[in-house]
Structure 1
């Protein structure tokens, strides 16, 4: 089994390997491709453009030819999966799986973003999932966190996210969802409420479910 991951930050390779180990996946199941240029272009453009989406979709389609499932791990680029077209295997955005899991919670859901370009796609995703399940949600941007990430200050980045998650619980959130894969490490630092939901684990679970659904059934 091969799950191909398209990342925009090299550090997310380790994040997903950790999530895979937690789920009991064997070493070598995940194949990583890192394209920081795609997110850099989106940040310069102020968001996802048609041209960037098309380039991302082409990269996803290429990965689909040698995998059992493909995961797009960047929330900013997430809508690109909608234009991949016919692919031989499932092509999934990890934040969609996260939104579905979060919407199963009772009460208010707060989704945290670290970079401004993820706010619009995250809001659209969570709005749809919340409407289907009848829950309330709010998307919050963790101010200045992305500057720490870009500067290589991982500890400062995760601490800022954990602080925002604790504040969300103090404000009445039932569950906090960390919308970007790079935020996953902050979950262990949260003290004021349940462990936040993270997109790497949600995305991998969704991929495994889709792969299992496609597997041929053995007649007894």
Structure 2
């Protein structure tokens, strides 16, 4: 078996997120008729703000509370890339009764994630090759041809599917919260393991 040199390296970069996600919920705790009506009104208000914004993951839930009343809930998520739209959603829904806003959380789109992974992989590959060169030279030889290279794989985030709101749209609520909203950085790490022929001098 011919001698080989193997080296591994990781490289991490920071990429600015270009996609946001906001979780929304409408929740009312009351007697059944009141709870359902309040939930429907909250959903209608949310719908009035989410015109042309993708909505996915809708869920309805009803349960009887310890006091005999009803917990009527609706949950959904919205996602996008325009920071101004995220700011508008949060600003208009932050003080609406029976509406809860959670987010935004930041991530990379598929194209941005691929670009970031490529940059991280270039850095990892360069470091791994330099390490292999150092190993070979310290053993009194040089690197031959590349025999194998393996990398870690990363799964892509599926694109959201647009789902229509169930309730009729109502007038938009006023803006009640002004925020300074900016995308956060996302860490992208790639690992590579390379194997070269070892050529003795």
How does the TM-score come out when normalised to structure 2? 0.24
Larger Cα Rg: Structure 1 or Structure 2? 2
Per chain length, whose mean CA-contact separation is higher, i.e. which structure has more relative contact order (CA < 8 Å, sep 6+)? Answer: 2
Higher percent of residues as helix: 1
TM-score, structure 1 normalization: 0.22
